[in-house]
Amino acid sequence: MDAFAVSFLNLVASMTTTVFVFAVMGHLAIKNNEKCYLTNAKTVMDLIAANLLPPEAQPPDSLHHDPSSIYSKWLNNLPGQVKERILPHLTDCDLSEQLSEVMVGPGVAIVAISNIISVFSGSTFWAIITFVLLVTLGLSTVIGIIQGIITPLQNTFSSLREHSGLLTVGVCVPMFLSSLLFVRPSGSYYVNLLDDYWTSLPLFFVVILETVAMAWIYGARRFLADLSIMLGRPISPVYRWLWCFLSPFVLLVLFLSALIHLFVKKITYLAWDSKSSDEVTRTYPSWAKVLLIALIILTILPVPAYFFYTFTEVTSASITHRRATVILKPEAKEGLPKAHLRLQVKQSLKKVNKMDK
C-alpha cells in the first residue's frame, strides 16, 4: 500500500509539474513573440519617420492590444511593393522558435517557477519559499546519491563499516571538488554537455542490464510468482511477456538511437554572441566528445569489471572445491601386500547421508 501511495503521488506530482511548466513556458514564448511583433512595428514606424517607407505602411494603433492576431493581418494586407520593402527590415517572429529558446537548459522548471512567482503579490515571500524548496530538493538528491555509493561499498567491503564517517568524507570531498568545475564562467556549458548527451546512454545501459537480469537470468516467471506472493493475489501473465520482450526491445531502440545521435550528429550548444547580441548555436570542440566518451565508459565500466571479478572468484572457488574433494590414500606398511596410490572422490551428499544412517 505504501509503495502504491508513493508511486501515485509521484505520478500526480510529475503530471502537475509538467502541465505547470509547459503552460508557463508557452506563456513566456507567446509574450516574447508579441514583443517581437511590437519591435517590428516600432522599426516600421521609425522607417516611416525617416521617409524610408511610405505612410501606407503605418501599423494600426490596435496592434498594441492584440499583437498576435493583428500583426499577421496588417502585414498580409499591405500592398505587394510596400511589403517587399518592409520585410528586409523585420525580424522573423516564429512562435516555435521562441518556444525552443525558452525550453533550452536543465533548469526549465526553475525558470518557470521564478517567472510565475514574480507576478504574485508578496513575491519576496514566495521567493524565500522557492529557495527553501530548491535547498530541500538538493539535499534529498545528494543524500540519495551518497547513500547509493556508500551502502554498496560497505556491503562489498565489510571493513568499511567500521569507518562510516571517514568513508562519507572520502566520497563527499572529491565530489565537492569536482563540482567546482560547474561554478566557473564556462560551467553552464559543461552542465549542458552532461545533461544533453551524457546521462541518457549510461542510464539506458544500466536499465537494459537490470531488465535482462530480472527477466532472463532470475526469470520473469519466478519474479511474477514472487510478486503474487507479496501482493496476495494473482498477477496477469501479460507482464511476463512485457518484461521479456517489449521492455528490452524498446530500451535497446532508445539506447541505439542515443548512441547514433552521439556519433553521427555534431554536439552543439547555445552561446551568447556579443557582436550580434543574440544566442547562436555552436559546436563543441573535438576534445569535448572525447571527454564525453571517456565519462560514458567510466560510468558503465564497473558493471563488466564486477562481472569478471565475480566470475573469477566463482571459478577459483569451484576449482578449490574440486581439489578439496580428492583424497590420497597412503601405501601399505612393510610385510603387507603393496597397495597402489588411489584417488577416491567423495560421494554425493545423498549417499553420505545414507551411510551415516
Task: Region of 122 please: left (phi>0), alpha (psi -120 to 50) or beta.
Answer: left
The answer to whether 345 and 326 are in contact (CB under 8 A) is yes
- Maximum pairwise Cα distance, the chain: 134
Helices (H), the chain: 2-49, 67-76, 80-86, 95-102, 108-117, 123-156, 164-179, 187-193, 200-212, 220-231, 238-241, 247-264, 286-300, 302-324, 349-356
* Of the ranges 63-67, 324-328, 353-357, the best mean pLDDT one: 63-67
**Tens digit of each residue's pLDDT (9 = 90 or more) over 113-144:** 777 777 777 888 888 888 888 888 888 888 88
Q: Is the pLDDT of residue 151 over 80?
A: yes
Distance separating alpha carbons of residues 19 and 27, to the nearest angstrom:
12
The three cell numbers of residue 178 are 569536482
Tell me the pLDDT tens digit for each residue of 178-225. 889 888 888 888 888 888 888 888 989 999 999 999 999 999 899 989
Q: List all residues 6 or more positions away from 342 whose beta carbon is below 8 Å from its beta carbon.
A: 329
Given a contact cutoff of 8 angstroms between Cβ atoms, the answer to whether 198 and 295 are in contact is yes
The model's pTM: 0.61
pLDDT band, residue 352 (cuts 50/70/90): very low
pLDDT at 103 over 80: no
Residue 172 confidence (pLDDT) above 80: yes
**Which carries the bigger pLDDT value, residue 272 or residue 206?**
206
* CA 355/CA 357 separation, integer angstroms: 5
Task: Report pLDDT for 248.
Answer: 92
pLDDT in tens, 227-245: 889 888 888 889 889 999 9
Long-range contacts of 59-65 (CB under 8 A, 24+ apart): 63/37, 63/38, 64/38
What is the DSSP code (8-state) at residue 337?
Answer: P
5-16 pLDDT, tens digit each: 888 888 888 888
What does the pLDDT read at residue 31? 85
pLDDT band with cut points at 50, 70 and 90 for residue 350: very low
> For residue 330, what pLDDT is reported?
54
Cα distances from 152 to residues 60, 145, 194, 236, in angstroms, run: 69, 12, 25, 33
Q: Which residues are annotated as a binding site for Na(+)?
A: 137
**Binding site, annotated residues:** 137
Secondary structure of residue 281 in the 3-state scheme: strand
Give the whole-number percent of the chain exceeding pLDDT 70. 89
In 3-state terms, what secondary structure has residue 283?
strand
Q: Is 118 helix (H, G, I), strand (E, B) or coil?
A: coil
